Amino acid sequence: MIEVKGLHKSYGGFEAVKDVSFQVAPGTVFGFIGPNGAGKTTTIRMLSTLLEPTAGTALVDGHCVVNYPERVRQIIGYMPDRFGVYEGIQVWEYLEFFAAAYKLPRGRRRAIAEEVMELTDLTPLKEKLVSELSKGMRQRLCLAKTLIHDPKVLILDEPAAGLDPRARIEFRALLVELSRMGKTVFISSHILTELSGICQEVGIIEQGQILACGSVESIARALSPSRRVRIRVLRGAAEAVEWLKKRPEVLEAAADGETVRATLQGGEEVVPEIVKYLAGLDVPIAGLEQEHHNLETLFMQITKGAVA
């Protein structure tokens, strides 16, 4: 749905985006993660047809952002990182105004505004003046506006910045719902943990370059090919450890009461192999758990001075 190849953007002599490539499949939620100044907004503005690339191509639903900007604008809903809203009108008026701006049929505008208010939980606030809304409410209004023309692709630049913890959770739930409705969601954030739960894929950018791209699990695996497992046995933990140490894929193993902790190298397939091996040795396994990668550590590992 989004295809970016060799994208560059220079501001004068400064290259803010350097050879960025990635793909976002239809219907997925893609997290674009990076620290301040990484080039997220610059990339997003190029995808949204607001900024012309210095080099490279970006296609949205097959349409080139440079050659067919009008076509792309109909397909995307773009929510900028900073936005102004007209203050002196009510929430419903604001949305109907944008329904008109998108030239939606006059007779349908009210119903469409009602639908997006329902989706974004703005219905109870529909009569409020925009000037009376809190920051979080404005954020929702901006998202509602982004949805008014029923775009296939949502491009959201740090939409959750400044929201309180409950609002963030609700916002994530809303993104999941939009994804279920079949929309492709491209969303930026500074924080990997904030998005990892809802993104099928992430791209990590720093100093204008993509450092890693793919599912969080595949990135984690590429960085640390070992995995840690905890196996709870009914008896014989010490013997199980001795047997495990004989296996080439077991880097280390130790018993902790009735729990065996082991570090394994290799893909996911080594886990059932180890279970089969232990079961064959008559070790009664009561449970097995894989320790999850610590996402913050992962993020720090990827971005720690990796680019000169």
Ligand X SMILES: Nc1ncnc2c1ncn2[C@@H]1O[C@H](COP(=O)(O)OP(=O)(O)OP(=O)(O)O)[C@@H](O)[C@H]1O
Site for ligand X, rule CB under 6 A: 11, 14, 16, 34, 36-42, 81, 190
109-119 vs 135-147: helix axis angle to the nearest 10? 130
The 10-49 contact track toward Mg ion, x by CB under 5 A, reads ------------------------------xx--------
Cα(254)–Cα(236) distance, integer angstroms: 12
**180 phi/psi in degrees, rounded to 5:** -65, -30
β-pairing verdict for 226-233 and 285-290: antiparallel
**Site size with Mg ion, rule: CB under 5 A:** 3
The residue to which tokens 């929201």 are assigned:
163
CB of 12: closest distance to ligand X in angstroms?
A: 7
In terms of CB distance, is 77 or 159 closer to Mg ion? 159
Which span (60-68, 80-88, 123-131, 139-147) binds Mg ion, by CB under 5 A? 80-88
Residues present in the chain in total: 308
Cα(38)–Cα(220) distance, integer angstroms: 21
In terms of CB distance, is 37 or 197 closer to Mg ion? 37
189 binds, among ligand X, Mg ion, none (CB under 5 to 8 A by kind): none
170 binds, among ligand X, Mg ion, none (CB under 5 to 8 A by kind): none
207 lies in the site for Mg ion, by CB under 5 A: no
Do 178 and 209 touch, CB atoms closer than 8 A?
no
Do 129 and 89 touch, CB atoms closer than 8 A?
yes
In terms of CB distance, is 42 or 196 closer to ligand X? 42
In terms of CB distance, is 36 or 305 closer to Mg ion? 36
In terms of CB distance, is 205 or 233 closer to ligand X? 205
And the tokens for 145?
């506006």
Q: Could you tell me the maximum CA-CA distance found in the chain, to the nearest angstrom?
A: 76
CB of 265: closest distance to ligand X in angstroms?
A: 35
CB of 81: closest distance to ligand X in angstroms?
A: 6
Residue number closest to Mg ion, CB atom: 41
CB of 65: closest distance to ligand X in angstroms?
A: 16
CB of 23: closest distance to ligand X in angstroms?
A: 20
Q: Which residues contact 273 (CB under 8 A, 6 or more apart)?
A: 249
162 binds, among ligand X, Mg ion, none (CB under 5 to 8 A by kind): none
Q: What is the DSSP string of 181-247?
A: TT-EEEEEES-HHHHHTT-SEEEEEETTEEEEEE-HHHHHHHH--EEEEEEEESS-HHHHHHHHTTS
CB of 42: closest distance to Mg ion in angstroms?
A: 8
And the tokens for 56?
């490279």
86 binds, among ligand X, Mg ion, none (CB under 5 to 8 A by kind): none
CB of 158: closest distance to ligand X in angstroms?
A: 7
In terms of CB distance, is 54 or 224 closer to ligand X? 54
And the tokens for 269?
């397939």
**Ramachandran class of 27: left when φ > 0, alpha when ψ lies in -120 to 50, beta otherwise:** left
In terms of CB distance, is 163 or 285 closer to Mg ion? 163
Where along the sequence are the contacts to Mg ion (CB under 5 A)? 40-41, 81
